Structure 1
């Protein structure tokens, strides 16, 4: 699974939080001059092909999946300062159905919160980029006895990513014609195997109903965050589970501890530098299978250093890390790793995160993290 496609995960926590945060902001600021966030309701048809991104799924690319989507979204209007910082994006929820037209693959039902960033907006048009992630249910997952040809996903429950360029043109004051081109991706992040995932480049055509167009906006005169230029410390721990092979059904615990120092650079960004330790118990099981009885086994624990960036949306952040192992006696992977994730600050002290750890574009484990900002 290539890194360009695995960002899908984890945006789920960010986008769900974005919608809740936006809705809460509208209530909190209702006594000010903040206009109510108008609704946009859409219904779209989708036509796709299956991308043969690896040889292991080439036998599945003959069909042309088709789908249908309904969604509801709100145009942010300025209730929170970050609305204006990001030029008033839209946040929404999409419900998608796909028919693979292949009995091996079956059907997909997905729910995806998303955010849509506008590049160009006028009285009669809106050109934007949409990024969403959520959960998908695949009706025909891999089964060693009954469906061994489905190598894209071995579990019914999967993560999904949507990336899409959209152009909405006003046919009437309330009705818009939408055309788009994008990508839908489904996989389980290597929680179970096989997990090659499926990538569906898609053409989209549909209609939007706009409650109010153009949407009103409010200039939020909030001062700059007072922690710009300040240094902080993060301490956190995580756990996740992974499967070694299709033949080994056991889920092995993977956990880590992280210490990082960070600095808020501006309204939108934090920079981080950290150290961390990992304990992947699936590596121990692999060693026990491959080492001769009585033979000495290397330590499977690893330690790394990383640099990172956090893109901030109020209490929410999209984080990306690049790390290098400085202690790894058992050479089970590349010398470097990447991490993509989402963090939410429940308080000024406590945060939670969902991260995807990656080795050279392939998912290693999904990490569920809790920590404190000091």
Structure 2
């Protein structure tokens, strides 16, 4: 599992550094216009499960936290057309730690993540920005049925971090900038280990940024008129879902190891690129959920899955799509609806949400990672994707 999070981090940070633009010659490396930034935030934890509402050792609500981060970033200059189109963003990697004022049951998580800060608007020394981040988090004191039985928020020692917010950044001097804003943060292991109700926070944040080099002159050029175009996509995904069976008579540690079930499927989609930044479209997914209609038997104090009918596990879903495109990298939003699945008790809601990252390895082959959730805060499982697109330039 730790290996998967290392791959995620390399995917999140490395793919951005691999951005290519055949029409431009790269003149600067990451450190040419780099900066260091120290961030602090203190805010609210949403009470989305019993553990946070007070079912814990202290019998108190867990509704506050603080966090610190140290970030290394590089400022784009417009050498590549996408940088000018995105109003000269900066991006990089950071180390993050959070304190939920309950180290005995939650621990002090540490994250390594990539981030992208893009301006909505620029003035001479002031920018109004959005920022998104994605990475891997470690050092949780996760659920344990014997020693930490109340923490149903985090079921594993590792998790994903999703972060999104807005901020204002003002340069006090040629090299020092003050940044103030807020962000929403979601922590979850993506359903790879239950229980996993997750942690969701909102908090104001302040940062001090120091440029290690002189601020660059931005390159301006005439942007060619955009011509809308279309593409068809086919993609395949795989993942795993952990299910805990509470009603079996077995050693408690073995019980809460649960059983892992395969999640596989493929999608067909159509996108229309409507601007340099955006694609909209629709698609349909055909999937197999190995956890549906499954029971377990106990054999030598170990759980063994007893499969139900194959057809009971098949599902069809439809979705509209939106992609925010930055060269080869896309942030993908897919609000989805199950169109077909067999009616069985305790199914997840028909409306579910998917958010992910997609990166084009070549002009036609892409890979990605997608988090599937429901009720906007409960993770179902993680999809690891590979796909191909058909299009005309």
Query: Normalising to structure 2: TM-score of the pair?
Result: 0.80
| Aligned 8 A contact 1:11 1:342 in 2 | no
Q: Which residue number in structure 1 is paired with residue 244 of structure 2?
A: 245
1:372 paired with 2:381, answer: no
> Distance between the aligned counterparts of 2:122 and 2:228, measured in 1?
33
Q: Which residue number in structure 1 is paired with residue 362 of structure 2?
A: 347
Distance 1:310 1:64, change over 3 A: closer
| Aligned 8 A contact 2:87 2:121 in 1 | no
Q: Which residue number in structure 2 is paired with residue 38 of structure 1?
A: 33
> Distance between the aligned counterparts of 1:147 and 1:85, measured in 2?
49
Structure 2 residue runs of 5 or longer lacking an equivalent are 1-6, 246-254, 299-305
Q: Which residue number in structure 1 is paired with residue 174 of structure 2?
A: 173
**What do residues 125-149 of structure 1 show as CA deviations (whole Å, max 9, x unaligned)?**
3332211110101331111111112
> Distance between the aligned counterparts of 2:184 and 2:337, measured in 1?
30
Q: Which residue number in structure 1 is paired with residue 80 of structure 2?
A: 80
Distance 1:190 1:216, change over 3 A: same
Coordinate RMSD, CA, aligned: 3.3
Structure 1 residue runs of 5 or longer lacking an equivalent are 1-9
| Aligned 8 A contact 2:266 2:287 in 1 | yes
Report matched runs for 1:24-63 at 5 Å. Answer: 29-30=25-26, 38-59=33-54, 61-62=61-62
> Distance between the aligned counterparts of 2:95 and 2:81, measured in 1?
29
Distance 1:148 1:321, change over 3 A: same
Distance 1:31 1:67, change over 3 A: closer
Q: Which residue number in structure 2 is paired with residue 333 of structure 1?
A: 348
State the Cα distance separating 1:350 from its structure 2 match: 1.2
Report matched runs for 1:1-374 at 5 Å. Answer: 15-17=12-14, 19-22=16-19, 29-30=25-26, 38-59=33-54, 61-62=61-62, 64-102=64-102, 103-211=104-212, 214-221=215-222, 223=224, 228-245=227-244, 247=255, 249-286=258-295, 299-331=312-344, 332-361=347-376, 362-374=378-390
Q: Count how many residue pairs are aligned between Structure 1 and Structure 2.
A: 357
State the Cα distance separating 1:36 from its structure 2 match: 8.8
State the Cα distance separating 1:245 from its structure 2 match: 2.3
| Aligned 8 A contact 1:11 1:341 in 2 | no
Q: Secondary structure at the match of 1:299?
A: helix
> Distance between the aligned counterparts of 2:118 and 2:105, measured in 1?
36
| Aligned 8 A contact 1:151 1:196 in 2 | yes
| Aligned 8 A contact 1:48 1:200 in 2 | yes
> Distance between the aligned counterparts of 1:273 and 1:56, measured in 2?
38
> Distance between the aligned counterparts of 1:237 and 1:48, measured in 2?
39
State the Cα distance separating 1:213 from its structure 2 match: 6.2
Q: Secondary structure at the match of 2:200?
A: strand
Q: Secondary structure at the match of 1:194?
A: coil
